[in-house]
DNA sequence: CTGTATCCTGGATGATACTG
DNA sequence: CAGTATCATCCAGGATACAG
């Protein structure tokens, strides 16, 4: 009985904690989910600042999509667009400090991605 | 001159490293990207094993989508479907060990998601 | 309860051409 | 170089109904 009550309490707390975690994950996916945002941030973190540089580095992204992703990233405080007047005008994108709060996420995902690639490769050669 | 050469070497190595990281991220996004997979794994990690339990916990997912996501997760070795014969038949899904390799990723993302939520909330109240 | 079958729509993306 | 405009396409996912 006491056991049953405790279990109910535990389950309730557990469910609430689960909701919190799921909500956090949902928030994260909303902000940085999708096919490109993290990859753009990685490329920029490696020193790519110009539109064309980023596009070359992030294989497969089109100008239209890169343009709209950069706008979203700017709106959400991850990057800033800098326009230098001159001949010709020079445009550079830079990471803002908020991008660096993603370092752990990026590190964890890339590490996992590398392990996963190894696993898939091993399976490929295993099955004939 | 030597400086220029060294820079070229550095840049080349740097670009290659960037490619590796981007490829790893791309692999990871391919396997666990999308709106639902990580959330399903979180819910299952909290003890939800039945189809309906998972659907209730992962707010907003439809039966059709959950069904197809579970199939993909099973194909990719993240979960296993267990069928217990009885009256009625009981079906449970369980995380396989490979799901636990995602722990760091999940932890990093949920932590970031919580911080992000706080930041957004702070901005909301700031701008009247 | 645990799904599957259909139908359908919006938004994301690709392709291509064009501009300052 | 750094994009924008336009059009066509595709598919994830929602809604609903149904089935074992």
Q: Considering only CA atoms, which residue is closest to the C1' of nucleotide C1?
A: B52
Would you say residue A127 has pLDDT above 80?
no
Which run of H or E residues covers position B94?
Answer: strand B90-95
Residue with smallest Cα–C1' gap to C12:
A65
From B87's Cα to the closest Cα of chain A, the distance in A is 26
Helix (H) or strand (E) holding A91: strand A90-95
The DSSP line for A12-45 is: HHHHHHHHHHHHHHHHHHHHH-SSSHHHHHHHHH
Q: pLDDT tens digit string along A67-91?
A: 999 999 999 999 999 999 887 899 9
What is the 8-class DSSP label of residue B80? E
**What predicted TM-score, i.e. pTM, was given to this entire model?**
0.90
How many alpha carbons fall within 13 Å on the CB side of residue B102? Answer: 25
* C-alpha–C-alpha distance, residues A40 and A54, integer Å: 7
Interhelix angle A103-126/A37-45, nearest 10 degrees:
110
Which among A29, A39, A112 has CB closest to B22?
A39
The Cα A32–Cα A79 span in angstroms is 13
B112 in contact with A at a CB cutoff of 8 Å? yes
**Closest A-chain CA to B48:** A15
Using a CB-CB cut-off of 8 Å, the residues of chain B touching A10 are none
User: Which residues 21-60 in chain A show a CB within 8 A of chain B?
Assistant: 21-29, 31-33, 35, 38-39, 42-43, 46-48, 57-59
Q: Each residue of A36-65: pLDDT tens digit?
A: 999 999 999 999 999 999 999 999 999 999
Out of A21, A102, A117, name the one closest to residue B110 (CB): A21
Judged by C1' against the alpha carbon of A65, the nearest nucleotide is C13
Nucleotides of D strand lying within 7 Å of any protein CB atom: 1-6, 12-17
B44-90 tens-digit pLDDT: 999 999 999 999 999 999 999 999 999 999 999 999 999 998 878 99
């Amino acid at each position: 009985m006491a056991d049953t009550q405790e279990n109910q309490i535990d389950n309730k707390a557990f469910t609430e904690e689960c909701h919190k975690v799921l909500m956090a994950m949902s928030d994260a996916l909303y902000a940085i989910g999708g096919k490109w945002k993290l990859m753009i941030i990685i490329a920029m973190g490696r020193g790519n600042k110009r539109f064309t540089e980023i596009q070359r580095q992030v294989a497969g992204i089109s100008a239209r999509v890169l343009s709209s992703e950069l706008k979203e990233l700017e709106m959400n405080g991850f990057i800033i667009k800098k326009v230098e007047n001159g001949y010709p005008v020079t445009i550079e994108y830079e990471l803002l400090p908020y991008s660096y709060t993603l370092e752990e996420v990026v590190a964890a995902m890339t590490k996992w991605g590398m392990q996963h690639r190894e696993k898939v490769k091993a399976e490929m050669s295993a099955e004939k």
